Amino acid sequence: MRCREACGACCIAPSIVQGFHGMPDGKAAGEACVHLDTDMRCALFGDPRRPALCEAFMPEPAICGDTREQALSNLRRLEADSAPAGLRT
């Protein structure tokens, strides 16, 4: 599966706990990465400064669904389900 045009769900929904280029404190779940451009694409794609989490993420139908909204919903759910027990909502 290829990334959906103008989606950016994977640059918004997950948290990144380790700092990275442009976001030294990481990012919270639901916060857009500073490298998400106006076309909803990663400006660090292919750049060695891109976070390992992002580099490892591969789009797949079960996660990305049929729409951007489904992708955001699925990724939010995964983020919540994988949070430490004391932080789950």
Structural domain boundaries in the chain: 9-83
pLDDT higher than threshold 90 for residue 85: no
CB-neighbour burial class of residue 54 (10 A; exposed 0-12, middle 13-18, buried 19+) = middle
Report the sign of the C-alpha dihedral through residues 41, 28, 9, 3, in that order. positive
Q: What's this model's pTM, rounded to 2 decimal places?
A: 0.87
pLDDT in tens, 1-56: 899 999 999 999 999 999 999 999 999 999 999 999 999 999 999 999 999 999 99
